Structure 1
């Protein structure tokens, strides 16, 4: 008897898509260890392993481009368009080689976040394609107009072939999808107790003066770290390996800390000891913070259609502050001393998206 096999395809863009899917994959493995996971993504294996405890097959392949970026805030539209054209031109050969692989490995279901070609690959291989996301690439590209409009149409056509979309919170309407099921927030759970994190990192500041700086897998160029000296009695924590050595800045990936922990810390492991998170708009960071009810200060992000949608949801459901790029890059961060805004709405978001999607996959295979 061959094992039930799930093929997971993840967008080739930053870390923000790999994190929610990896948390779902880990949950699937926990609910039914017999399901074999094949994870197709150019995201690094260490990132996937930081969420998935058991075995999986890592297949480094890219079926989409997302957005070509120098860092988490700066986009290169020309390079993005060129890459999109290339993928569209090569789509038949990309699909053919993957269909071959899927058939050889007796894959029973494709789960994608959210490469458009995954639907065509699954259809050609004769298996269902489920997707999970809070936005579609057609939404991002259509907003850019010009030649991107045609790409958006092609992508919407792909999404129209999706058998089931698990639509995550913080979403745009996603009208291209014929079959939508709304689910709750996704993300990992902290692995360590607050006492353990405080002890390992030597954090002695009170919660409201402890800030996690996290800007996604691509990071942000030119963070004005010099501002930290204006907050000498505060504690800042970062995952930015290139940050300067400052007395009130902890590098969470520094070996002197990580050697005393069984596995590398992730932002979600550090969040609970922080009174706020300073970030840029991104589903995965926002979702993990919202699940833990950690206040979020977000920089605005220009020219990316998902950004105002995310900030709208943030204002509705989180304690928050929204700062302009100028306030962040050129100001003195006085906003940190300002009171946070309460959420506009009193109802809370469902936090069980990871479990709901994982359970649906497990039920499909039983």
Structure 2
């Protein structure tokens, strides 16, 4: 635990892309690690992700500032992207950027913020530079990389984002990342993720989970979920149990629906032999930190996907399932063995702690 010196209280501003849950989850794990190392730190969480999600990962107090400084991708579910609406929203953000920046620069100066950590809104870097404070970022991709793959009409947006990212002072690059060469200073770190908080026996008793682990499956598709999951396929697995956070799932004997927001997918992962997911860093990372096999769908037209799928192929027990096999097939993949990792389960699992320590070291090395 870090002790305060000269009555210095670190004031740390953490900003995350608000679409979906993944960016907010992993930056929340860093916030939690900061508070564990230095409980007197003042944490300011800046994201449109819901407060209950942040609270489920951060075991301590924080200031919640529900603002958006980027767009991400506008989606109706984890697979369905609206590129036209996304581009329009980014262009609107660009037009009002000076107004957004002015308000937040004033907030940063008024509250004497020591450092910004962003995952990974581009605008935070020029905001920090004008406010005269360091801006560090973290991630496995930049939005310039995602948008670049969508065609020439995105080029102006891509160029603007790259100009922002080049003003970032330091990037913490996760495993399963694109090169992220836009950034000038890169530090590679390990996986981030929450730790499960409940005893396995208590969860089994509270939710009547009676199937053995080899027949217990977690279905989790991120904060945006999936439409039209073929739950009818579960009928052929009557002696299995499937855990889901999907409130729209049907009432079936072998489906266990988790609706209380105090629980997270990572809390139920240790009960399961496999996790079925769409490609997503946070879910993959939490599953890999627990050495649980991953069954992943393929997500086309999103440039991050090949890096994530390559990651689980190299470093996790895995199966990769084509979308047709998932949505129109009979789920025979559940009757097959998972594939071993090509390289091995060798990724470091302390990404959040490494980033948190670096932030505190920086805060305490600078005069208040």
Same fold (TM over 0.5): yes
Secondary structure of 2:159 counterpart:
helix
Give the one of 144, 158, 167 matched to 1:161.
167
Other-structure match for 1:317? 315
Secondary structure of 2:198's match?
coil
Distance in 2 of aligned mates of 1:233 and 1:17 = 36
- Deviation at 1:88? 1.1
2:336 corresponds to which of 324, 338, 354: 338
Q: 1:149 maps to what in 2?
A: 155
Name the counterpart of 1:283. Answer: 281
Given candidates 289, 301, 306, the residue that maps to 1:308 is 306
* 1:13 matched residue in structure 2: 19
Going from structure 1 to structure 2, the CA distance change for 1:46 and 1:347 (only over 3 Å counts) comes to closer
Unaligned runs of 5+ in 1: none
Aligned to 2:103: 97
Offset, 1:156: 1.1
Task: Give me the whole-angstrom Cα distance separating, in 2, the residues matched to 1:135 and 1:203.
Answer: 37
Whole-angstrom distance in 1 between the partners of 2:242 and 2:328: 19
2:3 is aligned to none
CA shift digits 1:61-101 (9 cap, x unpaired) = 10100000010000000000001111111111111110001
Give 1:356's match in structure 2, choosing from 346, 354, 357. Answer: 354
Q: Are 2:227 and 1:221 equivalent residues in the alignment?
A: yes
Cα root mean square deviation, aligned? 1.1
Shift of 1:208: 1.3
| Cross-structure match for 2:84 | 78
Deviation for aligned residue 1:347: 5.1
Other structure's SS at 2:276 match: strand
**1:53 CA drift (Å):** 1.7
Q: CA deviation at 1:30?
A: 1.1
* SS in structure 1 of the partner of residue 210 of structure 2: coil
Rounded Cα–Cα distance in structure 1 between residues aligned with 2:39 and 2:281: 28
Alignment map for 1:1-366 (pairs within 5 Å): 3-253=9-259, 264-346=262-344, 348-366=346-364
After TM superposition, the score normalised by the length of structure 1 is 0.96
Q: More deviation in 354-363 or 211-220?
A: 354-363
Give the Cα separation in 2 of the matches to 1:347 and 1:286. Answer: 13
User: How many corresponding residue pairs?
Assistant: 358
Deviation at 1:2, TM superposition (A): 6.9
CA distance in 1, matches of 2:291, 2:350: 14
Moved more, 201-210 or 157-166: 201-210
Partner SS, residue 228 of structure 2: coil
CA distance in 1, matches of 2:205, 2:258: 13
- Answer yes or no: is the 8 Å Cα contact 2:18–2:47 preserved in 1: yes
What is the distance in 1 between the residues matched to 2:311 and 2:31? 26
Aligned residues of 2:316 and 2:344 also touching (Cα < 8 A): no
Q: Distance in 2 between matches of 1:283 and 1:4?
A: 29
Please give the secondary structure, in 2, of the residue aligned with 1:351: coil
Q: TM-score, normalised by structure 2?
A: 0.95
**Cα distance per residue 1:137-162 (max 9 Å; x no partner):** 00100011121122111111111111
TM superposition shift of 1:341: 0.7
Q: What displacement does 1:354 show?
A: 1.0
List, as ranges, runs of 4+ consecutive aligned residues in structure 1 with deviation greater than 4 Å: none
CA distance in 2, matches of 1:292, 1:284: 13
Tell me if structure 1 keeps the 8 A contact 2:190–2:350. Answer: yes
CA-to-partner distance for each residue in 1:231-260, whole Å, 9 max, x for gaps? 00111000011111000000122xxxx5xx
Q: CA deviation at 1:339?
A: 1.0
